[in-house]
Amino acid sequence: MENKNIIVILIAIIVVLAVVAGALFLQSANAKEPTKLQITSDKSQYEGGELSIKLTDLNKTSLSKEKVNVTITNNKGKVVVNKTVKTNSKGNAKLDLDLKKGKYVVNVTYGGNDNYTGDVDSQNLTIKDKPTTNTLSSTTNEYPLYNSDLGYYKPTGIGQDEMGVVELASGRYVVVAGDGYYEYGGQDSQGNIVTGSFLGHGGSRIS
C-alpha cells in the first residue's frame, strides 16, 4: 500500500513538471524579439529635406517591408504630418519633408508583428531657410565633392584610397573606409589613421 502511494505521488510530480515545462515552452515559443527603431537623418535641415529611419533587431539585422508611422508636430503642438512609410530591404525608410522654417517634434512608431516587438523614437527637428544661390555656390566651390551620405565635402589628403579622411561642409572630419564611415580620431605616432565610433555604411545622412 505504501509503495502504491509513493507511485501515485511520483506520477503527480511528473504530471506537474510536464505541465510547467509545457507552459515554459509555449511562453518561449511565443516570445517576441526586441527591435531598434532610429531616426538617422540630421536634426537640423533646410527646407525640402527628408526624414530617414532605420529599423533593425538587436543584432542589427535589417527588418524589411515593415510599416512605420511618422507624426510631426509644430511648436504649437499641432500635428502637421501623420504618414506611414515602409522599410526597404536594408531596413531604411524615407519621407520627404514639406515643412516651413521652424521647430518641430518628430515621433516615429513601429507597432511590431508576430515575431517582433514594437519600438519608438523621437527627435527635435529644426528646419532652416534654403540657402541662397550665393551661399550654395560658395559651398560647392570650397567643398566640390558630393554624395547623399556626406553632403558636400572635400578630401584632406590624409590616408589612402582604401581609408581616407574628408572634411564635410559642416567642418566635421570623417574617415571614409571600405566598410563605411567613422569618426576621425587623429593619427598615431606612425601616421596611421585612428578611427572613432562607426557612423554608418550608407543610406543615412552624416553631417
Stretch 77-97: mean pLDDT, rounded?
Answer: 94
Mean pLDDT, rounded, of the chain: 84
Residue-level pLDDT at 162: 78
Residue 21 lies in a domain: yes
Going by pLDDT thresholds of 50, 70 and 90, the confidence category of residue 77 is very high
- Both 80 and 122 in one domain: the answer is yes
The three state secondary structure string of the chain is CHHHHHHHHHHHHHHHHHHHHHHHHHHHHCCCECEEEEECCCCEEECCCEEEEEEEECCCCECCCCEEEEEEEECCCCEEEEEEEECCCCCEEEEECCCCCEEEEEEEEECCCCCECCEEEEEEEEEECCCCHHHHHHHHHHCCEEECCCEEEEEEEEEECCEEEEEECCCCEEEEECCEEEEEEEECCCCCEEEEEEEECCCCCCC
Residue-level pLDDT at 64: 93
- Both 124 and 52 in one domain: the answer is yes
Residue 110 lies in a domain: yes
Residue 205 lies in a domain: no
* CATH number for position 67: 2.60.40.1930
Going by pLDDT thresholds of 50, 70 and 90, the confidence category of residue 1 is low
Of the candidates 128, 159, 190, which is a domain's last residue?
128
What is the span of the domain harbouring residue 11? Answer: 1-31
Query: For 153-175, how does the pLDDT look when each residue is reduced to its tens digit (9 = 90+)?
Result: 888 888 876 788 988 888 888 99
Residue-level pLDDT at 148: 79
- Both 77 and 22 in one domain: the answer is no
pLDDT over threshold 60, residue 27: no
16 vs 110, higher pLDDT: 110
Of the candidates 99, 128, 157, which is a domain's last residue?
128
pLDDT over threshold 90, residue 67: yes
- Both 1 and 47 in one domain: the answer is no
**What's the number of domains the chain is made of?**
3
- Both 97 and 120 in one domain: the answer is yes
Of the candidates 107, 128, 149, which is a domain's last residue?
128
Stretch 110-127: mean pLDDT, rounded?
Answer: 93
